[in-house]
Amino acid sequence: MRPSLLRRLDTFARQVTPFALTVVLVLCNVVPLRIPGLEAVAPSLPLISVFYWSLYRPDLMPAAAVIAIGLLQDTVSGAIIGISAAIFILVHAAVCAQRRFFLGKPFVIVWLGFALIAVAAFCLGWMLTSMIVATLIEVPALLARTAVTIGCFPAVAWLLLRCQVALLRSV
């Protein structure tokens, strides 16, 4: 028997939830809050989301979605087009490659893994951007943004877990 239209729409909505939530986090990252200096140290919420979904639901966060999120991030933030897409796809690949190691480990191990990947991602972004614009980008802001992103990981991961439990239980 064919599933009803509503059932298929419900399944589709649940399947795009990780992508949609990550898009919302991209938009949250660029909302102007008019707080001096915040932009330089604001956490990379999409990076946390790409890591989380690539680890816990890679079937719902395919590489094409990760690239689209990266391109959207670059477009709405005014960054060099392709930098975030390259970083996010490398994060996605690294997490998928180490997924078996992370699954079932205590949260602190997952957090440490995220910290290592975040440091590598921010360093790669710094290197690529510095090479393309032919000048060194400020390192203190990079270090602050990296630290804030790593520090925000538990709270954002908890929110994503709540969404996963609430919305994706039947997918």
pLDDT, position 30: 87
Residues of the chain predicted below pLDDT 50: none
pLDDT (0 to 100) of residue 32: 79
- Given its phi and psi angles, is residue 117 left (phi above 0), alpha (psi -120 to 50 degrees) or beta? alpha
String of b and e for 53-75 (b: at least 16 CB within 10 Å)?
A: bbbbbbebbeeebbbbbbbbbbe
**pLDDT for position 12:** 85
- Predicted local confidence at residue 69, as pLDDT: 98
pLDDT digits (tens, 9 = 90+) for 71-92: 999 999 999 999 999 999 999 9
**Where residue 74 sits, what CATH number does that domain have?**
1.10.1760
How many whole angstroms separate alpha carbon 49 and alpha carbon 67?
A: 13
Count of structural domains within the chain: 1
For residue 153, what are the domain limits? 5-167
Give the chain's length.
171
